[in-house]
Amino acid sequence: MRPGAIVIASSLLVCGAIIGCERDDMWEQPKTAVLGTNEFFDNDQGARMPVKGTVARGADNLQEDDLLYRGMENGKLAERFPFEITENDLNAGHDKYDAFCSPCHAKSGDGMGMIVQRGYKQPFSFHIDRLRNATPGYFYSVLIRGLRPTQLPGVKFEPDDDKVHPAVAHKLSPVERWQIIAYIRALQLSQNATIEDVPMEQRGELDKPKTEGSNGESH
Amino acid sequence: MPQIFSKKANYLARGSIVMTGVVFVLIVLISHNVTAYTHDLGVAFQQPAPFSHKHHVKELGIDCRYCHQSVEKGPFAGLPPTETCYTCHSQIWTNSPLLKVVRDSYTTNTPIEWNRVNNLPDFVYFDHSVHVAKGVSCYTCHGQVDQMNLLYKENAFEMIWCLRCHRNPEAQVRPKSEIFNPNYDYSQHETLGKQLVEQYGIKKEQLTNCWICHR
C-alpha cells in the first residue's frame, strides 16, 4: 500500500473513532439501575418484591410505638398527637396536604377538589361536626388503612354514605401523616372561626387587601 | 543546499490537507449543536400508555410529588406504583381503552414497563433530594413538563449543561415554596438568587469539584 493511502486510511479511522464512540463500558456498568431491568431474574425485574412470608426491616408494622405508627393508644384510636405540633409541623403539613390531599379534598377541605369535579366520589367535608369532633387517631387510621364505612363499626354513617378513601400509607412517612392531620385541624379551625378567635391586635389586618406578590396559592 | 524536506514530506502534506478537512467538519458539527439530534431532544417517547403530564399537572393541578414521591427523600424521584394511578382511576375513566395497560397491571400485579426518558451515564452520581432541598425546581432541568402532552427530553444533561448551574447557582435556585411551581417568575431574581444561595448554605466553591458528581 502506498504511504499516502495509509495516512488517509488512518485519518479516516481516527475520524470514525471520534464520531462513533462506543459507550458501553463505563456508561453502562453492570449494575441494576433503580427500577431498571436485570436479566438475572426470571421477569427481568431489577427491583425485587419481598420474599413471601417476610417483612421488611423497619416496616411500620414492626414498630412498637403504637401511637406514632398506628395512631392507636390503649387499643383505641388515639385522642392526641404523638408529638407536640410546632409551626414548622403545620407548614410541612400544609405543603403535604396541598400535594397529596387537595386534589380531592380541595385546599379548603370542603371536598370539592379538582378530581371530584372530574367525577370522583365526593369525600366528606372536613367541616362537618362528625369530623370536627373526630380524634387525630381517626384521621390517621383512614390515612393508613383507607376507609370503607362498613369497616369502621364504631362510627355512625348516614345510609347513603358510600364514601371510599384509598390507603395512602405508602405515600407518606408517619411524621408526615401527623403533620397533615395537624394541618387538617388548622383548616377546620379556619372554616369555623369567629372574629373572637382573631387576636385583638391582628383584627385590623383582616380588612387589608392582599399585597402584590403574595398569591393565595403559595405559602 | 540539501533538501530540507525528505520525499516523505509529500505524504505529510497530503495527510494534513485531509486532517484539515476532518477538523473543519468536526467544528461545523459542534458549532451547529448536534446535541439536540443525538439526544432526541423534543421527541416524544413511546410509552405503554399515552400519559399526559400536561393534563395531570396543568389541567388538574396535581403536584409532582403525588406520583414522584421520593424526589424529596432520595436519589431517585420515583415512578408511581400502579396503585397510585388507581387512586383516581378506580373511579374515573375506568373503561377507557387508553388505560387498559393500567388495569392489566393492577389486576395481574405486574409493573407497567415505562421507557426511561433521561438516562444518565452510570459514572454520574445524581441525587434528586439534595437538588430539591437546595431550591432547584423540577422544571429547571426537566423543562416545562406541565406543557408536555407526551413527555420528551428538554435538556440533554451533558456535563457542560450541568456545570452552567453548578458554576452559577444564583441564577436558578428558588425559594422552598416555589420548587414545584411550573410558573415561577424569575424576573426579580437578581438579588434573591444570591440571598438564597447564602440561606441554603450552598458551597459554591465545591460545586465544580470533580467528586461532586463523579465518585
Give the residue-averaged pLDDT of A102-114.
94
pLDDT of residue B86: 86
Report the mean per-residue pLDDT for chain A.
Answer: 81
Question: Do residues B140 and B158 both lie within one domain?
Answer: yes
In this structure, chain B runs to a length of: 215
pLDDT of residue A217: 43
Interface test with A, best of B66, B174, B176, B215 (most A CBs within 10 A): B66
Residue that is written with C-alpha cell 458554576 in the block: B167
Interface test with B, best of A35, A52, A98, A142 (most B CBs within 10 A): A35
Give the residue-averaged pLDDT of A123-141.
91
- C-alpha distance from A66 to closest chain B C-alpha (Å): 24
Cα–Cα nearest to B210, from B157, B166, B169: B166
pLDDT of residue A148: 67
Q: Would B62 be classed as within a structural domain?
A: yes
The 10s digit of each residue's pLDDT in A109-119 is 999 999 999 98
Question: Do residues B147 and B124 both lie within one domain?
Answer: yes
Residue A154 has pLDDT above 60, yes or no: no
Q: How far is CA B65 from its chain centroid?
A: 17
Residue A59 has pLDDT above 80, yes or no: yes
- C-alpha distance from B69 to closest chain A C-alpha (Å): 7
Interatomic CA distance for residues B145 and B44, integer angstroms: 12
pLDDT of residue A62: 86
- C-alpha distance from B1 to closest chain A C-alpha (Å): 27
Task: Determine whether the interchain pair A100/B88 forms a contact, defined as Cβ–Cβ distance below 8 Å.
Answer: no
Question: Do residues B71 and B92 both lie within one domain?
Answer: no
Q: Would B58 be classed as within a structural domain?
A: yes
Question: Do residues B178 and B96 both lie within one domain?
Answer: no
Question: Do residues B153 and B204 both lie within one domain?
Answer: yes
Local confidence band at A14 (pLDDT 50, 70, 90 cut-offs): low
Say how many CA atoms lie within 13 Å of A157 toward its Cβ.
16
Highest-scoring range by mean pLDDT, A5-14, B15-24, B88-97: B15-24
- The structural domains of chain A, with segments of one domain joined by +, span 60-99+125-193
The 10s digit of each residue's pLDDT in B190-203 is 889 999 999 999 99
Q: Would B40 be classed as within a structural domain?
A: no
Q: Would B206 be classed as within a structural domain?
A: yes
Instruction: Report yes or no: B49 and B112 within 8 Å, Cβ to Cβ.
Output: yes
Interatomic CA distance for residues B188 and A137, integer angstroms: 44
Interatomic CA distance for residues B141 and B120, integer angstroms: 13
Count of domains forming chain B: 2
Task: Determine whether the interchain pair B15/A115 forms a contact, defined as Cβ–Cβ distance below 8 Å.
Answer: no
| CB < 8 Å to B123, chain A | 26-27, 29
Question: Do residues B93 and B151 both lie within one domain?
Answer: no
Question: Do residues B193 and B121 both lie within one domain?
Answer: yes
Interatomic CA distance for residues A139 and A185, integer angstroms: 10
Question: Do residues B153 and B199 both lie within one domain?
Answer: yes
Looking at chain B, the whole-number percentage of residues with pLDDT higher than 90 is 58
Q: Would B100 be classed as within a structural domain?
A: yes
The 10s digit of each residue's pLDDT in A31-43 is 888 888 888 888 8
Domain of residue B133: give its range.
53-79+117-213
Q: Would B32 be classed as within a structural domain?
A: no
Q: Would B108 be classed as within a structural domain?
A: yes
pLDDT of residue A4: 67
In this structure, chain A runs to a length of: 219
Local confidence band at B50 (pLDDT 50, 70, 90 cut-offs): very high
Q: Would B159 be classed as within a structural domain?
A: yes
Cα–Cα nearest to A139, from A150, A124, A153: A124
Give, as one character, the DSSP assignment of residue B153. Answer: B
Question: Do residues B59 and B155 both lie within one domain?
Answer: yes
